[in-house]
Structure 1
Amino acid sequence: MSENHRARSVGIGRAHAKAILLGEHAVVYGAPALALPVPQLTVTASAGWSSRTPGDPGGVSFTMTGSPSRPMMTQASDSLSRLTAEFKTAMGVADIPRLDVIIDGAIPHGRGLGSSAACARAVVFALADLFGHDLSESAAFDLVQTAENVAHGRSSGVDARAVGATAPLRFQAGRASELSIGCDGLFIIADSGVVGRTKDAVELLREGFQRHTGAQERFVRRATQLTDEAGRALAGGRPQQLGARLTDYHDLLRAAGLSTHRIDALVEAALTAGSLGAKITGGGLGGCVIALTQPVQAREVTARLHEAGAVQTWAVPLRGLADHAR
C-alpha cells in the first residue's frame, strides 16, 4: 500500500460505558429497554502501522492496558479481529500492512457496563480515523454489532447504541430514541467486584421459560410495563416513581434467579441509605448495581455501598446528562 493512501500515521477512536436502567433480558424478546450513558468511564483506541517485520501481512494485533483475564483477552481478540475484517470489507480497504491497535480503557470487564461494545466502537472509529473515512452512526452500529455477536452470541444491539450515546436512550426492536429528562438526582453505580455471567444468565432464563408455560410472556409483559412506567416518570419529573420501578425490576430479575447474595446486599444497602430505588444492571449473576439517589443522600449511599462490599462506585448526574443532550 502506498504512502499517499495513508491518511494518518495513527488513528484515534473513543467510546464510553453504559448502564441499563430497565429492560435487561426482556429487550432480546422485543420489550423496550432504557440505557444510560456513563461518560465518566471511557475507552480510547489507537490504531497504527506495525513497526515489526510483517510476517502476517494484513493482520492486526491488539494490546489492552491493564490486566484482563486470559479468557477475556482471547474473546476480545476474536471479536475485534472479526470486526477489523468486516471494517476492511465495508470500507473497501485491502492489501494493507500489519496494524497494531492499543486499547486503553477504564471500564471494568464483565460488569454489564458495555466494556466489549465500547472497545469495539473505539476500534471502529480508530480505524476510520487512520484510513481517513467518515463513518456514519448506522455503519458504526453494524460493525460494533459484528463484534458483539461474536462476544455474546445473539445481541440486542442496546450496548452498541448506548456506548456512543450522549443522552439516555429508549431501545426497542433495533430502534433507539433519546429519552426526555425531567428529573434531578443522580445514579450511583456500584461494582460488586464479581464478573457477571451473561451467557449463563440467558440460558438460565430460557430454561425457566421452557419449564413453565406462559413464563416468557409474563416476564416480558411485566418488564415492558415497568420500563414504560419508568420512562414516563423520568420524563415527567417523578423521581420517586422512577426509583420504585427500578426496585420492582430488580425483584423481577431476582425472582428469575439472575441476582446473587452480594448483589442483593448492595441493593438493600442502597435502599437503607435512602436511595429512591436500586437494582442489578446488566446480564446478571454478578456485575453492578445501579441506584437512583438524591444528591443530599449520595455520600451516605456511597458509604453504605462500600461497606456492603462494593469495590468501586461512580456517580452519573441526570442534570449533567440533560445539559449534555441539548
Structure 2
Amino acid sequence: MSCDFQTTACGKWILAGEHAVLRGHPALVFPLPAKTLSLTWHRTEAPLTLETHGAQADILREAALAVLEVLRAEGVLNEAAGTLCLEGNLPVGVGLGASAAISVVFARWLAHLGVVSTSAIPAFAKRLEDHFHGKSSGLDIAGVAAPGGRWFCAGESHALSETWSPAWYLSSCGEQGATAACIETVRQLWQRAPDVAQVIDARMHESVTLAADALADSGPEALPRLVKAIEQAAGCFSDWGLVTDALKTHMELLRAQGALAVKPTGSGKGGYVLSLWGCAPPADLALMAAF
C-alpha cells in the first residue's frame, strides 16, 4: 500500500521551568531524537480506520482514538477516509512528550488535508493536547517539534545558545506520573498558601535563567552553575510535593553513583529523572543519553 503522507515527531525533556511555565514563567525544553512517533496515512475510499503498532500499541491506540473523537465532534473529519497508522518507540504516559507528539503529528496531517493552515499547526496541536492534560502551556509542543534546545515563555520560543554539550542522561524511576494530577497538586498549593507558591515559582524562574546562562558560557564556571540550576529546580519539585518515594530513591541512587545533579523532568510524582554527569555514568545503570 502506497503512503500518501508521513510525518514524525520526537519526544522531549525539560531542563527547568516545569509547572511555573503555566503561570507565564520561562522554561527550557529539549527534543529527544532517540524516541519518536510516526504517523502514516494511506488514502483509500473506505471510511477512516486506525492502526497502531509497537510495544505500547494498545495505549497508543487509546490516546489516538481520543484525538479522533475530539476531531469528529468538531466536524473536522467529516470527509476523511483511508488508513491512519501510528507507530514508534516513544513511551506513553511517562513525561517524555507522547501526548504532544500525538497532537503534533495529527495537526500536521490535518494541514496536509487542508483543514488546518501550516502556520496554525502549533496552536492546533496545543488545543489537542489540552484534551490530555486539561491545561497545556505549549511547552511540550515546542519541544517535540524543535531541532534543539528552546527557551519557551508565554507561548513563544527561541533557540537556546549552547556553547558546550553537558553529559546529561534520562532514566525512569519505575513509577508512572500523571500530569493532570500534578498540576492539580500545585494548584491546590496556590489556593492554600499563595505566598509560598509564589516563592517557589520565582525560584524555578531563577533556575531557568541560571541554566540558560550556564549553557551559553563555555568557561570553567559553566558546569557548577548548571549543577546549581538543576538542584534548585529539583528543590522546587520537593516544595510542591511532587517527589514520591520512588522518585526520591532513584535520585539518591544516581547521586550515589556519581551524578553531579539530578531532578525530575516533566510533571513529577513519577516518570523520568534528568541526571548531569562529569563523565560517562556506570554502564549498569542503563541510562538513556539526552543529547
TM-score, normalised via structure 2 length: 0.89
Q: Deviations over 1:33-57 (max 9, x none)?
A: 00011111111111123575x4xxx
Report the counterpart of residue 47 of structure 1 in structure 2. 41
Query: After the TM superposition, which residues 133-152 of structure 1 pair with which residues of structure 2 at under 5 Å, given as runs?
Result: 136=118, 138-152=119-133
Amino acid at match of 2:225: Q
Report the counterpart of residue 270 of structure 1 in structure 2. 254
1:18 offset after TM fit, Å?
A: 0.4
* Alpha carbons 2:107, 2:116 under 8 Å: kept: no
Change (3 A) 1:67 1:80: farther
2: CA distance, partners of 1:179 / 1:112 = 22
2: CA distance, partners of 1:42 / 1:30 = 28
* Alpha carbons 2:16, 2:233 under 8 Å: kept: yes
Residue aligned with 1:124, SS? helix
Residue aligned with 1:214, SS? helix
Report the counterpart of residue 61 of structure 1 in structure 2. 49
Amino acid at match of 2:192: R
Report the counterpart of residue 178 of structure 1 in structure 2. 159
The answer for unaligned runs of 5 or more in structure 2 is: none
Report the counterpart of residue 209 of structure 1 in structure 2. 190
1: CA distance, partners of 2:60 / 2:29 = 24
- Among 137, 143, 153, the alignment partner of 1:162 is 143
Q: How many residues align?
A: 287
Q: Deviations over 1:265-284 (max 9, x none)?
A: 22222222222211000011
* Alpha carbons 1:12, 1:125 under 8 Å: kept: no
Does residue 13 of structure 2 align to residue 30 of structure 1? no
Report the counterpart of residue 14 of structure 2 in structure 1. 20
Report the counterpart of residue 323 of structure 1 in structure 2. none
2: CA distance, partners of 1:288 / 1:159 = 15
Residue aligned with 2:14, SS? strand
1:194 offset after TM fit, Å?
A: 2.1
- Among 99, 123, 127, the alignment partner of 1:116 is 99
* Alpha carbons 1:83, 1:120 under 8 Å: kept: no
- Identity of counterpart residues, as a percentage? 28
1:204 offset after TM fit, Å?
A: 1.1
1:154 offset after TM fit, Å?
A: 1.0
* Alpha carbons 2:72, 2:78 under 8 Å: kept: no
Report the counterpart of residue 288 of structure 2 in structure 1. 314
Amino acid at match of 1:100: T
1: CA distance, partners of 2:80 / 2:237 = 48
1:206 offset after TM fit, Å?
A: 1.2
1:107 offset after TM fit, Å?
A: 1.0
Answer with 17-26 or 200-209: which moved more: 200-209
* Alpha carbons 1:198, 1:283 under 8 Å: kept: yes
* Alpha carbons 1:239, 1:276 under 8 Å: kept: no
1:151 offset after TM fit, Å?
A: 1.0
2: CA distance, partners of 1:12 / 1:71 = 21
Amino acid at match of 1:98: A
The answer for unaligned runs of 5 or more in structure 1 is: 1-7, 55-59, 307-312, 318-326
Report the counterpart of residue 82 of structure 2 in structure 1. 99
Larger Rg: 1
1:169 offset after TM fit, Å?
A: 0.5
Q: Deviations over 1:119-177 (max 9, x none)?
A: 22223334444x489963x4210121121011111100001111010010110111101
1: CA distance, partners of 2:55 / 2:248 = 28
Change (3 A) 1:84 1:95: closer
Change (3 A) 1:198 1:231: same
2: CA distance, partners of 1:117 / 1:213 = 29
Amino acid at match of 1:111: V
- Among 225, 231, 234, the alignment partner of 1:250 is 234
Change (3 A) 1:263 1:31: same
